Structure 1
Amino acid sequence: MSQPRNRAAVFSAGSWGTAVAKIMADAGTDVIVHARRAEIADGINTTHRNSGYFPDIELPTTLTATTDPATALAGAHYLVLSIPAQSLRTSLAAWAPHIGPDTVIVSLMKGIEIGSGLRASQVITEVTGVSTNRIAVLSGPNLAREIMAGQPAAATVACLDEDAARRVQQACHTPYFRPYTSTDVTGCELGGAVKNVIALAVGIASGMGMGDNASAMLITRGLAETTRLATAMGAHPGTLAGLAGLGDLVATCSSPLSRNRTFGTHLGQGMSVEQATAATRQTTEGVKSAEAILALARAHDVEMPITEVMSDLLHEKISLDQAAAALMQRPPKPER
């Protein structure tokens, strides 16, 4: 007798949510995507394409869509969340009554909540009351467009419950997507959140005409300050040297497909924050999270100069030239 197929509800139908929905469907899971817009859901159901993000890529027939959260969550073994970090609390409160008692919640979000300083997994626990053993994080160097094209990629699935992490791992393991497991939820989430801020800085440097030396400097020193904060908050340093740390940082800082790097490039070319937001068009978590990450750093007495400069620049406290000078004119010190 064959085993019943797993079922996953993916909220939402944006670029990364669609990519993970496709991964899970290709791995043998029945997937239903929750879309805010009826035309997106209808397109997925009738043409097997997400016209808003990937109109050129056909989706598996085991991937369907709905605009009704209750329908999406009915019988779901996994709830995959891919929404802006700053709207998580409000949105999840509306969806929580439909979450099953055994559903594992998988966070794809890479941001820190403004005001509370909470990571996504902490917000999920606070809003739903779900045990931390049922909350996983998936993070790594995962550019959605490449994954949709079936290009090789890997990620880390972190959960305090190793068995739950392995179940999520199996639910998204395909010939082109290789997930590893971890129990370091804190390290994975902070690696994913801070790298967005560093990618903004790399994009700015590129937009200002700086070369690869400047990019390498920002990536390397960005990893150092990410590791300082994460370990101060209880993460394992090895996590930041892995896929959810260095891997994600390199991909996000190096690729023109990265929305955070692209946003930074617009700023470096002279756009205002408002103009860059309009030009980028998608959620850029680094812009929203920089201030919250800096508050965490100060609360834990951690020095994060790149994050501090980026926060000041995004809030228009300093100019581009002042930002570059602030980073280059810091007192010399031992590397660590």
Structure 2
Amino acid sequence: MDVQRITVLGAGSWGTAFAKVLADAGRDVTMWARREEVAARIRDEHANPGYLPDIRLPANLTATADAAEALNGAEAVVLAVPSQSLRANLTGWRELLPPDAILVSLAKGVELGTRKRMSEVIAEISGRAEHEIVVVSGPNLAREIAQEQPAAAVLACSDHERAVAIQHACATAYFRPYTNTDVVGCELGGACKNVIALSCGMATGMGYGANTTATLITRGLAEMARLGAKLGADPLTFAGLAGVGDLVATCSSPLSRNRTFGERLGRGETVEQAQRATGGQVAEGVMSCSSIRELAQTNGVDMPLTDAMHRVCHEGLDPREAGAELLGRQKKHEWS
């Protein structure tokens, strides 16, 4: 498979950064933006300052606010919208999708209500088989990638040839993609790390240091690995880019929306105050903590950090009380 014409549906930070990667890899890329003024800036000025200020976009990257125009002739379609709005958006685009195009998911989350991973939502709405969908995960902070800082990602698909096709389409001197056939593990890692990043941000907001952050990262990793094992993921996936890699980047960097959102909560702000301070944007982990918690409960998996984040974000639990509860849990063996 040789993928040359690619459409990116969504013009936020990560969608724009990934579109730049594809264009830098020599592909002809068209972005769809919800607002015409955003599309015009990308198309005419090669910039998207609302999301990636001071980043120059390649000349072979264009944009439109017309989804039909954007999707015409696409050989791959990258879905770059938030996880909780993916279903509604894809329902509107379904009839416009080219029948043979590879579908690529950038969204990291578990859908509220259905508890479905993003590739499952895409398969349901598009009518495509899951082996036709490629999932992108890994330590992918959009601004650093747009600045062409060295980074890697993992492309997961049960059809290895499709993963390789997207791998070739996005390989650049600064962006190194690997392939993986463990879609379940890669998607769970990408979703769960947002929740753990909230907890790390809260700890920072409360004035705690590196020991606390390291503890939360490693215990969070144990949680996601337990859930992954129950759902059939390969344990090695959580030691890779979609597990430890994404977890460390998202939990440690001030560029992480989830970490910075959690930091505001740790300083005593409410979810509503933190949302207003971030321009009305809610971090993915705020919603995913509830759906992942439901998924864990349904499958009998203990995820105390995820449960605590749900209670802080949606039941008014004070972050300091959550920390005290976690430290006061029954003592046990590390791997039990």
Calculate the TM-score normalised by the size of structure 1. Answer: 0.98
What's the CA shift for 1:132?
1.4
SS of the equivalent of 2:301 reads: coil
In the other structure, the counterpart of 1:329 is 328
In the other structure, the counterpart of 1:87 is 85
In the other structure, the counterpart of 1:152 is 150
In the other structure, the counterpart of 2:266 is 268
- Whole-Å Cα distance in 2 between the matches of residues 214 and 243 of structure 1? 22
Q: What amino acid does structure 1 have at the position aligned with 2:18?
A: V
The answer to which of 318-327 and 136-145 deviates more is 318-327
| Runs (5+) with no aligned partner, structure 1 | none
1:243-296 C-alpha deviation (Å, 9 max, x unpaired): 001000000000000000000000001100001111123341100111110011
In the other structure, the counterpart of 1:292 is 291
Q: What amino acid does structure 2 have at the position aligned with 1:202?
A: C
In the other structure, the counterpart of 1:115 is 113
Q: How does 1:10-21 map to 2 (within 5 A)?
A: 10-21=8-19
What's the Cα RMSD here? Answer: 1.2
What's the CA shift for 1:19?
0.3
Task: Say yes or no: does 1:231 pair with 2:229.
Answer: yes
In the other structure, the counterpart of 2:198 is 200
Question: Contact 1:84–1:283 at 8 Å: present in 2 too?
Answer: no
Residues 108, 89 of structure 1: CA spacing in aligned structure 2 closer, same or farther, 3 A cutoff? same
In the other structure, the counterpart of 1:175 is 173
Question: Contact 2:2–2:165 at 8 Å: present in 1 too?
Answer: no
Q: What amino acid does structure 2 have at the position aligned with 1:112?
A: V
- Whole-Å Cα distance in 1 between the matches of residues 276 and 15 of structure 2? 21
What's the CA shift for 1:316?
2.6
Question: Contact 1:27–1:174 at 8 Å: present in 2 too?
Answer: yes
Question: Contact 1:9–1:76 at 8 Å: present in 2 too?
Answer: yes
- Whole-Å Cα distance in 2 between the matches of residues 279 and 223 of structure 1? 29
Question: Contact 2:3–2:76 at 8 Å: present in 1 too?
Answer: no
The answer to which of 99-108 and 48-57 deviates more is 48-57
Candidates 33, 42, 46, aligned match of 1:35: 33
- Whole-Å Cα distance in 2 between the matches of residues 142 and 249 of structure 1? 10
In the other structure, the counterpart of 2:54 is 56
Q: How does 1:71-86 map to 2 (within 5 A)?
A: 71-86=69-84
- Whole-Å Cα distance in 2 between the matches of residues 285 and 5 of structure 1? 30
The answer to which of 311-320 and 298-307 deviates more is 311-320
SS of the equivalent of 1:216 reads: helix
- Whole-Å Cα distance in 1 between the matches of residues 177 and 3 of structure 2? 20
Q: What amino acid does structure 2 have at the position aligned with 1:308?
A: D
Q: How does 1:234-245 map to 2 (within 5 A)?
A: 234-245=232-243
| Runs (5+) with no aligned partner, structure 2 | none
In the other structure, the counterpart of 1:106 is 104
SS of the equivalent of 1:89 reads: helix
- Whole-Å Cα distance in 1 between the matches of residues 34 and 135 of structure 2? 23
1:52-103 C-alpha deviation (Å, 9 max, x unpaired): 1123111100000000111111110111011111111111011010111110
In the other structure, the counterpart of 2:220 is 222
In the other structure, the counterpart of 1:133 is 131
- Whole-Å Cα distance in 2 between the matches of residues 11 and 278 of structure 1? 26
SS of the equivalent of 2:177 reads: strand
Q: What amino acid does structure 2 have at the position aligned with 1:312?
A: R
Q: What amino acid does structure 2 have at the position aligned with 1:170?
A: H
SS of the equivalent of 1:112 reads: coil
Q: What amino acid does structure 1 have at the position aligned with 2:21?
A: I
In the other structure, the counterpart of 1:211 is 209
In the other structure, the counterpart of 1:303 is 302
Q: What amino acid does structure 2 have at the position aligned with 1:79?
A: V
In the other structure, the counterpart of 1:319 is 318
- Whole-Å Cα distance in 2 between the matches of residues 4 and 261 of structure 1? 38
Identity of aligned residues (%): 56
In the other structure, the counterpart of 1:65 is 63
Q: What amino acid does structure 1 have at the position aligned with 2:77?
A: L
Question: Contact 1:262–1:280 at 8 Å: present in 2 too?
Answer: no
Count of aligned residue pairs for this structure pair: 334
Q: What amino acid does structure 2 have at the position aligned with 1:303?
A: D
What's the CA shift for 1:319?
1.5
SS of the equivalent of 1:315 reads: helix
Q: What amino acid does structure 2 have at the position aligned with 1:76?
A: A
